[in-house]
Amino acid sequence: LTERNLQLRKRAKTRNSRDRRDAATKVRYRFEPDPRLAKPPRFSGTIEAIKIGPQKKTGAYVAAVIYRVRRDKLTDRTKTIIYSHGNATDVGAMHFISSVLARSCNVNVVMYDYSGYGASGGIPLEANTYRDIKMVYKYTVEQVAGGDESNIVVYGQSVGSGPSCYIASKRKNVGGLVLHSPFMSGMRVLTPSRALACLDIFPNVDRIKNVQCPVMVIHGQ
């Protein structure tokens, strides 16, 4: 574990340095989907690859892909989905579902990678996922949703339910919360016992009590 931790810290340092250099020289990014993945239905809007940051405490930049509705289809009620994906994937692998959501629902979609995932810098830690979504949420309000939080829907799938519940419990004006295959908490996935509560992560069951916006839960048996 110590060796793995050192490797992650070394990689984070390298990526943070690269992203700072890119930001200073105003490097622009382009999203190129993996041709081996299923091709989604054509999306008529724009697809923009960006890095959001730096995060004040860690210095990390978060990789994100924004699917924007065409200007002639925008209205004052156009929604923007901030999608926190599940484990073992990234913004590239989520291209199909992002395109389908944006096209079929006529919404903007902000798909991002957590620290340490995909092309994002930083280290994959619970605390960093909270910092990530706070940074992404702020950017989305200012740069995508026109300053109107009520037009933002936070969508969390699996492990993404953790940061999604967190931000929804903090932002009282958010428009909605979708929880796709969420868990009560990290430890409760393994056992209902509270003996190890001090080691628990992503306590969704506690935070959901503080969420004031409409909530939709999608789950199977």
What are 61-110's pLDDT values in tens digits? Answer: 999 999 999 999 999 999 999 999 999 999 999 999 999 999 999 999 99
Amino acid identity, position 36 = R
Q: Which of 46, 38, 112, 41 is nearest to 74 (CA)?
A: 46
pLDDT score recorded for residue 191: 77
pLDDT score recorded for residue 221: 76
pLDDT score recorded for residue 199: 75
Residues 201, 205, 206, 211, CA torsion sign: positive
pLDDT score recorded for residue 190: 76
Cα separation, 16 vs 59, in Å, equals 7
pLDDT score recorded for residue 142: 98
pLDDT score recorded for residue 131: 98
pLDDT score recorded for residue 28: 97
Return the bridge partners of 82, or none.
110, 154
User: What DSSP assignment string belongs to the chain?
Assistant: -HHHHHHHHHHHHHHHHHHHHHHHTT--------TTSPPPPP--SEEEEEEE---TTT---EEEEEEE--GGG--TT--EEEEE--SS--TTTTHHHHHHHHHHHT-EEEEEPPTTSTT--S---HHHHHHHHHHHHHHHHHHTSTT-GGGEEEEEEGGGHHHHHHHHHH-TT--EEEEES--S-TGGGT-S--TTGGG----HHHHGGG--S-EEEE---
Q: What is the largest CA-CA distance in the chain?
A: 56
pLDDT under 50 in the chain at which residues?
none
pLDDT score recorded for residue 192: 76
Cα separation, 101 vs 67, in Å, equals 9
pLDDT score recorded for residue 220: 87
pLDDT score recorded for residue 194: 67
- Cα 18 vs. chain centroid, distance in angstroms? 21
